[in-house]
């Protein structure tokens, strides 16, 4: 099942540091061996609800195992400080859903779990 590495990077004060530019130049080569590819990168965000200061980056992988292997890889860990020294942010790895996914079934399971918990209390 497809997985995604999603980063929310917060804006830095001042101009973009050379280390951040070096990170950007090198990062794609670190995830390509794991089947990763940029899905969102370097684009403006259109905030339609809430606040979203900063940028979003999304990389797609064939699965969660590949995304985790990329993040833990020596190649990525080597360049990661180039970004983290200058940009605050958050990154998550999440599994995608397949074409058979049904949100109403998820809601029903959540409702049943909530109701079981309420009965136990």
Q: Give the domain extent around 88.
A: 1-118
- Residue 14 reports pLDDT greater than 90: no
Q: What is the CATH number of the domain that holds 62?
A: 3.30.70.100
Report the mean per-residue pLDDT for the chain. 95
pTM equals 0.88
Tell me the per-residue pLDDT of 53-104, one tens digit each, with 9 for 90 and over: 999 999 999 999 999 999 999 999 999 999 999 999 999 999 999 999 999 9
Q: How many domains does the chain have?
A: 1
Q: What HEC string does 2-69 produce? A: CEEEEEEECCCCCCCCHHHHHHHHHHHHHHHHHCCEEEECCCCCCCCCCCCCCEEEEEEECCHHHHHH
């Amino acid at each position: 099942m497809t997985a995604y590495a999603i980063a929310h990077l917060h804006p830095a004060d001042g101009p973009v540091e050379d280390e951040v530019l070096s990170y950007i130049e090198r990062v794609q080569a670190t995830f390509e061996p794991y089947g990763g590819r940029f899905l969102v990168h370097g684009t403006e965000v259109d905030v339609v609800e809430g606040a979203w200061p900063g940028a979003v980056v999304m990389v797609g992988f064939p699965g969660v195992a590949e995304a985790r292997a990329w993040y833990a890889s020596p190649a990525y860990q080597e360049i990661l400080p180039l970004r983290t020294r200058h940009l605050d942010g958050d990154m998550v790895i999440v599994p995608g859903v397949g074409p058979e996914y049904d949100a109403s079934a998820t809601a029903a399971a959540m409702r049943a779990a909530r109701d079981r918990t309420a009965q136990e209390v």
